[in-house]
Amino acid sequence: MTDKRIEALTKAAEKKKDDEIQVLLSELGIKLSKILIKEIKGTPRERVIGAIVVVQENIDSGVKVRSKVGLFRSALREQWVANESRETRKVNQNNDEFLE
């Protein structure tokens, strides 16, 4: 395979991943802004999926989510883990701040 062919296949695979993430976010009702797109592109795919799962779990558990976009951005930036309680996240965040 030539380098150009490999590059083309890599770009196609990345586009497919981007499309999958966009569909998941759309299903949750999260609209993408330019800033959010930039944040997503600068974040490993596993963390993006994890943040999506955090939003979905909050919705499924009956928690009133004021801003799905805000929850998603917080989960993305603070690397929240799905199935981690709010109390655990708060303790972990406080511990991280203490260690700095």
Report residue 71 as tokens: 């929850």
Report residue 35 as tokens: 């800033």
CA atoms of 73 and 55, how far apart (whole Å): 10
Average pLDDT, integer, range 24-46: 91
pTM, to two decimals: 0.70
CA–centroid distance for 39 within its chain: 9
CA atoms of 97 and 7, how far apart (whole Å): 41
Alpha helices in 29-81 (DSSP H): 34-41, 45-60, 68-77
Q: With 60 as the cut, is the pLDDT of residue 33 above it?
A: yes
The one-letter amino acid at 26? S
What residue ranges do the domains of the chain occupy?
3-99
Contact status, residue 51 vs residue 75, Cβ threshold 8 Å? yes
Average pLDDT, integer, range 11-35: 85
Residues 58-67 have pLDDT tens digits of 988 888 889 9
pLDDT for 89:
54
Residues 6-18 have pLDDT tens digits of 777 777 767 777 7
CA atoms of 66 and 58, how far apart (whole Å): 11
